[in-house]
Amino acid sequence: MKNRLASVTRSCGQRQLRHGQRLLAVNSCPLPQRRHVASFEQGPSQRPDSQYVSFPGAVKSAFCHTMKFESPQNYPALPTYRVVDQHGVVVDPDFQPDISDEEVMQLYRHMLTVSIMDIIMYDAQRQGRLSFYIVSAGEEAVAVGSASCLSKDDVIFSQYREQGVFAQRGFKLSDFMNQLFANKHDPGKGRNMPVHYGSKELHIHTISSPLATQIPQASGAAYALKMQHMQDPSIPPRVVACYFGDGAASEGDFHAALNIAATKSCPVIFICRNNGFAISTSTLEQYRGDGIASRGLGYGIETIRVDGNDIWAVREATKKARELALKDGGQPVLIEAMTYRVSHHSTSDDSFAYRAKVEVEDWKRRDNPIIRLRKWMENKGIWDDNKEKEARESTRREVLKEFSKAEKEKKPPIRTMFEDVYEEMTPDNKAQMAQLREHLERYPEEYDVGDYVGGRDSLKP
């Protein structure tokens, strides 16, 4: 084999071609299966006496002869699209509901379910029955409304206030509870913090704790979906929906992701919940520009700002965004949904240390997304106080029922902490597992392992 390779190397030696004063070394016998034809995209050219800049970075920028620095104050803020006002009255004359009354009520029930679950689980954490929780109060319309316009095969990357996305996709109350209590039915086997949901069946990637990591991942996934459809047109085109907050938009990952998506024309919808705060840092301290939407324009991305407390505005924007994202093979779209975080950032936060309680209560009373949709339904005659009472009571009973079941279930086997890193456990993994079993057997009174499936026996080889 060695002699054969040497023979091939000699017969495929290099020859030199003279080009001007340069010598270019080329292979005299390229292998057919490795053949690659380079293609070059024609860039803009600057023609003589042109009135415009025509080179990368500022195509079609007219020359001017008066020096002037542009100021943000000279441009109006991007408008915020709204369909229904805070009184439940339609203000968009072209708006017509595209779903039935029953489907509207189902959206409302999903928003209500998330809201009631949030209250119960927040209290459970305060009782010490749960280690951590994050609520999505005030942002239910963004999650439920946008998810209701996506295809079930579209891929989702979310942050940690998208309970409504999961509920709309079909994530059951038992699924929420199993993850929160990290019991034996948790697909993540108790390895993640609470509220870090995920579902392979629903095409939702598991939530990550590090802020903004999901945004460039979404761009990459969208590019992969684009390539998949190009290689096999029988596969229906899909988009990626990526959710994040205004705080995540201050991370470098946000800028890298938008630039990748724009230059590679990735079919991804970026959905920013601008709720006014990045934990304790208000938007006034985060940036000086016109919100998040203006950044989309800077990256050459189709952009819209919507009233995030208006589920109809969110739905209309998401429907159009998905259409645009699939246009001409794919392109990114940015939606900035203006909301207000009426809750604490998490159970580890006290928001009244940095904002007035009266401000929060005012938002709850004046512009709550759940109340706004309820007013719209009441104006239409499809909802009333009796239906509201029944929906709240039945939802609360169901949440408490699943809460009780999940809390009583055993934890995953202890051995799972050593599994799934490699396809098969390494000798080091096995040695560590044996050491742990020996330690637990030596001090049985110090460790209560009865809550784990199999107890110490799960650590047997």
- Whether the per-residue pLDDT at 298 is higher than 90: the answer is yes
Which pLDDT does position 43 carry in this prediction?
64
Q: Are residues 423 and 344 located together in one domain of the fold? A: no
Please tell me the least confidently modeled range out of 19-28, 46-55, 170-179, 225-234. Answer: 19-28
Which pLDDT does position 39 carry in this prediction?
54
Strands 333-338 and 61-62: unpaired
pLDDT digits (tens, 9 = 90+) for 241-286: 999 999 999 999 999 999 999 999 999 999 999 999 999 999 989 9
CB burial class (10 A; 0-12, 13-18, 19+) of residue 85? middle
Q: Are residues 283 and 421 located together in one domain of the fold? A: no
Q: Are residues 325 and 207 located together in one domain of the fold? A: yes
Which pLDDT does position 41 carry in this prediction?
59
How does DSSP classify residue 343? S
Domain count, the chain: 2
Provide the pLDDT confidence category of residue 374 given band limits of 50, 70 and 90. very high
Torsions phi, psi for 429 (to 5 deg) = -60, -45
Average pLDDT of the chain is: 90
Provide the pLDDT confidence category of residue 4 given band limits of 50, 70 and 90. very low
Q: Where are the alpha helices (DSSP H) in 30-129?
A: 101-126
Query: What would the mean pLDDT of 43-59 be, rounded to a whole number?
Result: 76
Nearest to 453 by CA among 412, 395, 400: 412
Q: Is residue 39 part of a domain?
A: no
Which pLDDT does position 365 carry in this prediction?
84
CATH number at residue 126: 3.40.50.970
Domain hosting 429: range is 414-459
Q: Are residues 182 and 293 located together in one domain of the fold? A: yes
Q: Is residue 428 part of a domain?
A: yes
Q: Is residue 21 part of a domain?
A: no
Distance separating alpha carbons of residues 267 and 458, to the nearest angstrom: 45
Q: Are residues 401 and 420 located together in one domain of the fold? A: no
Give the helix/strand (H/E) hosting 165: helix 163-169
Query: What would the mean pLDDT of 93-108 be, rounded to a whole number?
Result: 97
Which residues, 6 or more positions from 239, have their beta carbon under 8 angstroms from its beta carbon?
Answer: 150, 151, 154, 155, 222, 225, 267, 268, 269, 322, 325, 326
Q: Are residues 397 and 452 located together in one domain of the fold? A: no
Which pLDDT does position 421 carry in this prediction?
87
Q: Are residues 358 and 266 located together in one domain of the fold? A: yes
Which pLDDT does position 363 carry in this prediction?
87
Which pLDDT does position 16 carry in this prediction?
38
pLDDT digits (tens, 9 = 90+) for 423-443: 999 999 999 999 999 999 999
Q: Are residues 252 and 389 located together in one domain of the fold? A: yes
Torsions phi, psi for 290 (to 5 deg) = -85, 75
**Top-confidence residue, 17 or 112:** 112
Q: Are residues 228 and 166 located together in one domain of the fold? A: yes
Q: Is residue 57 part of a domain?
A: no
Provide the pLDDT confidence category of residue 50 given band limits of 50, 70 and 90. confident
Query: What would the mean pLDDT of 117-138 be, rounded to a whole number?
Result: 96
Distance separating alpha carbons of residues 138 and 363, to the nearest angstrom: 9
Q: Are residues 420 and 401 located together in one domain of the fold? A: no
- Of 408, 431, 449, which residue is a domain's last? 408
Which pLDDT does position 60 carry in this prediction?
81
Which residues, 6 or more positions from 90, have their beta carbon under 8 angstroms from its beta carbon?
Answer: 83, 84, 376
Q: Is residue 198 part of a domain?
A: yes
Provide the pLDDT confidence category of residue 82 given band limits of 50, 70 and 90. very high
Which pLDDT does position 56 carry in this prediction?
66
Q: Is residue 334 part of a domain?
A: yes
Query: What would the mean pLDDT of 166-190 be, rounded to a whole number?
Result: 97
Question: How many angstroms separate the most distant Cα atoms in the chain?
Answer: 89
Q: Is residue 266 part of a domain?
A: yes
Distance separating alpha carbons of residues 376 and 380, to the nearest angstrom: 6
Which pLDDT does position 144 carry in this prediction?
98
Provide the pLDDT confidence category of residue 40 given band limits of 50, 70 and 90. low
Distance separating alpha carbons of residues 352 and 368, to the nearest angstrom: 19
Provide the pLDDT confidence category of residue 42 given band limits of 50, 70 and 90. low
Which pLDDT does position 51 carry in this prediction?
86
- Of 391, 408, 425, which residue is a domain's last? 408
Evaluated on CA atoms 365, 343, 319, 333, the torsion sign reads: positive
Which pLDDT does position 57 carry in this prediction?
67
Which pLDDT does position 20 carry in this prediction?
37
pLDDT digits (tens, 9 = 90+) for 139-163: 999 999 999 999 999 999 999 999 9
